[in-house]
Amino acid sequence: MVVPMMHIHEDHPLPADPDWWRGAVIYQIYPRSFQDSNGDGVGDLAGIINRLQYVAALGVDAIWISPFFPSPMLDFGYDVMHYRDIDPMFGSLADFDALIEHAHDLGLRVMIDLVISHTSDQHRWFRESRGSRENPKSNWYVWADAKPDGTPPNNWLSIFGGSAWEWDGERMQYYMHNFLKEQPDLNFHEPEVQDEMLDVARFWLERGVDGFRLDTINFYFHDHQLRDNPALPVADRDYSTAPEVNPYNHQDHVYDKSRPEMHGFLKRLRALMDEFPGKAAVGEVGDAQRGMEIMGQYTRGDDMMQMCYAFEFLSTEPPTGERVGEVLKKFDRLAADGWACWAFSNHDVERHMTRWHLDPALYRVFLGLMLSLRGSVCLYQGEELGLGEAYVPFEELQDPYGKRFWPRYRGRDGCRTPMVWISDNMHGGFSEAKPWLPIALDHLRNSVADQINEPQSMLSFYRRMLAWRKQHPALIKGDFTLQDTAEGYVSFVRTLGDEAVFCCFNLSNHDQSVALPEGDWTLIPGTGFEAHLDADGAYLPAGQALFARRGGT
């Protein structure tokens, strides 16, 4: 049953700033694992409402909530069965309305995960589409005949392993699925599909959401001719969007995604969003070879998406000073006219504390780095506690991706385990029941309760750095000039008006002396880092950062 609209965007207005998203810090909530309110071991919307004060106190600008739509949960909400409702395990539309109201009262904007490149095979649209080749929705999904020998139409591969085509004995054709075979791809070449997806977006905008995280934004369109993807030379393979064990990396994905028709649809979506002032979207660009280039294309100008993120800093490649410099130069070359949303962790990758083998000091430096880059920021729940990847044994594994490639790839469950609110409870204060995923013992030692009143804790550091950043608008919306990348450090300057902020990060294991740009620079206090200025410029001990100001007040 659909609950009447509350028009929350009118009753609880936030400060009018159509550019709020530019430089915003967005906190990702994975609802299954944030807070359980009804004792079933799965997080829900009421649980999020109960914890919003904590999120607001962090100092973030918005939350992004991963999918909560009705779903068979084979991919935990990313297999949508109904786009205009809430899965009962998470609550109701009334709960969602209450969440928006409470978030807005706390000054938090709410972005939701819009998954429109594919649906669940349980969706009524797919059930109708597979029924015949002549029904009204026969062209709503990507169907193709078998080759004469009965094999799939082409060589396209699924992100989850194996062919991207599944034979359907009812329709006697193959359908395309970029992910699980239970997640058939919608056919965006069909105008009715585009119209329906825009109507879905309108439904949630009218309900008061402040924007969208667009799942797999570059997967919406496929090559109409179904041409084979070319092979990718071993030397050119990049494992940032799929693990090395996955043959998906063996292809150059030029025909199964990132097609030029996407630009027209994004312009339609942006035009719809512009009917609702102050809304914004961030797109997930999944492409190992051209992610940054696509990010630039999808965010360039005023008629595309506001933000996108690629996978350069979500990969396993160690982020040395040289590597960070390479990414920033690449961004300046391919996407300088666009807008990035930087993230080091999310629900799809190993937590960066573990992935990059960081100690707590260097972990703090990377927060300073991310908060200083030109772009917006996504933080992932638990990141502020310094959580590493949790070990989940195979018998408790839920993620189909991990089950498919175990043990060489353990899947995504290790970053999805529940938040730890207290340490003196076997379930970490997340639930009164056994959680849907086990809680790691080392996570309990890093609970919110143990850190929130400890000035030197990671949580306190995150709160302090987010508050400190708001005092320096140049770090939020300023211009960016890369200064230097050498010997394990990276430095750049952010400029807004008459204020310039010099940012330098020593990512090496030895002390560094770094030259300052021309001008009279003053150390900016308040970060807790141990670097300082001396007669030679900037002195940074190993694993430290420095911020200095020129001009301004």
The reply to whether 442 and 503 lie within a common domain is no
Asked if 266 contacts 199 with a C-beta cutoff of 8 angstroms, the reply is no
Instruction: Please give the pLDDT value at position 15.
Output: 74
In a domain? residue 490? yes
* Token pair listed for 4: 């009447």
Q: How far apart are CA 362 and CA 442, in angstroms?
A: 19
In a domain? residue 150? no
Instruction: Please give the pLDDT value at position 2.
Output: 37
Alpha helix ranges (H) inside 162-254:
191-206
Domain boundary among 469, 502, 536: 469
In a domain? residue 40? yes
The reply to whether 300 and 435 lie within a common domain is yes
The reply to whether 400 and 492 lie within a common domain is no
Q: How far apart are CA 352 and CA 469, in angstroms?
A: 22
* Token pair listed for 33: 């694992």
Instruction: Please give the pLDDT value at position 553.
Output: 63
The reply to whether 447 and 542 lie within a common domain is no
> What total of structural domains would you count in the chain?
2
Domain boundary among 441, 469, 497: 469
The CATH number of the domain where 90 resides is what? 3.20.20.80
The reply to whether 396 and 501 lie within a common domain is no
Cis previous bond, 407, omega within 30: yes
Q: Which domain holds residue 36?
A: 8-117+191-469
The reply to whether 455 and 492 lie within a common domain is no
Domain boundary among 421, 438, 469: 469
Q: How far apart are CA 138 and CA 194, in angstroms?
A: 15
* Token pair listed for 235: 């030397």
In a domain? residue 509? yes
The reply to whether 195 and 314 lie within a common domain is yes
Asked if 69 contacts 85 with a C-beta cutoff of 8 angstroms, the reply is yes
Q: How far apart are CA 183 and CA 239, in angstroms?
A: 23
Q: How far apart are CA 137 and CA 133, in angstroms?
A: 9
In a domain? residue 128? no
The reply to whether 329 and 423 lie within a common domain is yes
Q: How far apart are CA 344 and CA 355, in angstroms?
A: 10
The reply to whether 358 and 394 lie within a common domain is yes
The reply to whether 401 and 332 lie within a common domain is yes
The CATH number of the domain where 510 resides is what? 2.60.40.1180
Which of 498, 464, 493 minimizes the C-alpha distance to 479? Answer: 493
Instruction: Please give the pLDDT value at position 13.
Output: 63
Which of 317, 436, 443, 318 minimizes the C-alpha distance to 388? Answer: 443
The reply to whether 494 and 425 lie within a common domain is no
The reply to whether 301 and 398 lie within a common domain is yes
CB neighbours (10 Å) of residue 157?
Answer: 22
Local confidence pLDDT in tens for the 553 residues of the chain? 333 333 333 455 677 789 999 999 999 999 999 999 999 999 999 999 999 999 999 999 999 999 999 999 999 999 999 999 999 999 999 999 999 999 999 999 999 999 999 999 999 999 999 999 999 999 999 999 999 999 999 999 999 999 999 999 999 999 999 999 999 999 999 999 999 999 999 999 999 999 999 999 999 999 999 999 999 999 889 888 888 999 999 999 999 999 999 999 999 999 999 999 999 999 999 999 999 999 999 999 999 999 999 999 999 988 999 999 999 999 999 999 999 999 999 999 999 999 999 999 999 999 999 999 999 999 999 999 999 999 999 999 999 999 999 998 999 999 999 999 999 888 999 999 999 999 999 999 999 999 999 999 999 999 999 999 999 999 999 999 999 998 799 999 999 999 999 999 999 999 999 999 999 999 999 999 999 999 889 999 999 999 999 986 6
- Phi then psi for 494, rounded to 5 degrees? -105, 135
* Token pair listed for 346: 């999310």
Which residues are catalytically annotated? 215, 275
In a domain? residue 125? no
In a domain? residue 85? yes
Instruction: Please give the pLDDT value at position 137.
Output: 98
- Phi then psi for 18, rounded to 5 degrees? -60, -15
Helices (H) and strands (E) counted in the chain, each on its own, are 15, 19
Instruction: Please give the pLDDT value at position 105.
Output: 97
pTM of the model: 0.96
In a domain? residue 67? yes
